[in-house]
């Protein structure tokens, strides 16, 4: 068995940990909070557990975040912004019909990160019912989500993919509600809804927008 050098071991142990900017450290804590909330549930997401997952002390965490609700709101805000940016970059090619279909495929919870995103949303919904601050964050993020879908529907009317008599507002509300319902069922599990079935249900609804 090879011998180890005690001095070398001590020098490794004394190496300084990498330093990050305050913004990066904050994002790392929010990412850890999102993982705990989505993977272990809101009841398990105590400040102590999130501090542990973030690899920081409880005192450091409570110095920057006053409650789990604040962590929930900010982690959802960050995750939503990242997700919207990713969708915007990746779904710009093709007709409005193709882009809307690609958007639906992208938001379906068929991978670990997207499933985590939906479970974070579900936890957020349950808290936003009784917490005005969270309700305001929910309203703001939903306006952004509705705007993303509405832009594609308007583009579809403009390029002739969809009927020109579509009520954009009503159609957007209908489609967002349908996507939410399907993804909620997939994320919660235990029922008959699968990702493949969910895509089929939503695509059938989009086909109803097509010019006849």
**At 138, which CATH number?**
1.10.357.10
Check if the beta carbon of residue 38 is closer than 8 Å to that of residue 116. Answer: yes
Residue 189 lies in a domain: yes
pLDDT digits (tens, 9 = 90+) for 86-101: 666 655 678 888 889 9
pLDDT digits (tens, 9 = 90+) for 146-183: 998 999 999 999 999 899 899 999 999 999 999 999 99
CB neighbours (10 Å) of residue 74? Answer: 18
Cα 77 to Cα 1, 81, 170, distances in angstroms: 52, 6, 25
Residue 116 lies in a domain: yes
Domain ranges, residue 66: 20-207
Residue 93 lies in a domain: yes
CA distance 120 to 113: 10
User: Residue 19 has what pLDDT?
Assistant: 61
Reported pTM: 0.77
Mean pLDDT of the chain: 83
Residue 9 lies in a domain: no
How many alpha carbons lie under 13 Å from residue 153 in its C-beta half-sphere? 26
Residue 162 lies in a domain: yes
Residue 5 lies in a domain: no
Report the domain count for the chain. Answer: 1
pLDDT digits (tens, 9 = 90+) for 3-46: 445 444 444 334 344 566 767 788 889 989 989 988 898 888 89
Residue 8 lies in a domain: no
Residue 4 lies in a domain: no
- Which single residue is written with the structure tokens 């832009």? 151
For the segment 91-119, the average pLDDT, to the nearest whole number, is: 86
């Amino acid at each position: 068995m090879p011998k180890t050098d005690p001095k070398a071991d001590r020098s490794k142990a004394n190496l300084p940990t990498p330093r990050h900017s305050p913004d990066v450290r904050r994002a790392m804590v929010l990412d850890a909070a999102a993982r705990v909330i989505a993977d272990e549930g809101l009841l398990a997401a105590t400040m102590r557990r999130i501090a542990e997952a973030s690899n920081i002390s409880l005192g450091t965490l409570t110095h920057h975040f006053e409650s789990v609700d604040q962590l929930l709101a900010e982690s959802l805000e960050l995750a939503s912004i990242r997700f919207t940016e990713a969708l915007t970059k990746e779904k710009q090619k093709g007709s409005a019909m193709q882009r809307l279909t690609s958007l639906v495929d992208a938001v379906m919870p068929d991978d670990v990160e997207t499933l985590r995103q939906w479970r974070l949303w579900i936890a957020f919904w349950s808290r936003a019912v009784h917490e005005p601050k969270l309700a305001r964050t929910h309203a703001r993020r939903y306006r952004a989500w509705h705007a993303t879908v509405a832009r594609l529907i308007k583009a579809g009317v403009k390029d002739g993919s969809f009927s020109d008599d579509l009520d954009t507002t009503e159609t957007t509300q209908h489609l967002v509600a349908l996507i939410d319902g399907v993804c909620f069922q997939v994320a919660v599990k235990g029922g008959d809804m699968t990702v493949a079935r969910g895509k089929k249900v939503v695509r059938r609804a989009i086909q109803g927008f097509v010019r006849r």
